[in-house]
Amino acid sequence: MTVTTTATSAPQRGRPILGAFAGLFLGAFIALDLILFGVLPLESGLVWVIAVAGIVLGVALGVWAPFGRGAKDADPTPDVPDVPDDYDSAAITSDGA
C-alpha cells in the first residue's frame, strides 16, 4: 500500500473583525493625539475621517494578513525529528530486539 502525503495550502487570513474594532480605536486615538498636540482644532470634522480610515485600515489588514507569513512560507516542509549521532540502523533486528 502506498501512502501519499500532500501539503495543501489553505488561504491565510487575519482577523478582520478584530481589525475593524482595533482600527476604530486606532483612528480615534490618532485623531485625539492630533487634537492634543494642536495639529487639529477641536471642532475639526477630520476626526471622523481619521476614525473611518482606521476602520478601513484594520479590516484591510485583517483580510490581507500580511504579518507572520514569512516564517511559515520560508520552510513549508514538515518538521523531521533529529537523528541522534549514535543511531545505528543495523542494530535494529526484525524482531525489534
CA 16 – CA 79 distance, rounded (Å): 30
For position 56 contacting other proteins by CB under 8 A, the verdict is no
Work out how close the CB of 33 gets to other proteins at its nearest, in angstroms, rounded to a whole number: 5
Contacting residues for 49 by C-beta, under 8 A, at least 6 apart = none
Grid look-up 542494530 returns 91
Verify binding: residue 68, other proteins, rule CB under 8 A: yes
State yes or no: residue 62 binds other proteins (CB under 8 A).
yes
Taking a C-beta distance cutoff of 8 angstroms, is the pair 14, 63 a contact?
Answer: yes
Residues in the site for other proteins, rule: CB under 8 A? Answer: 7-16, 18-19, 21-23, 25-26, 28-30, 32-39, 41-45, 47-48, 54, 57-58, 61-62, 64-69, 72-73, 76
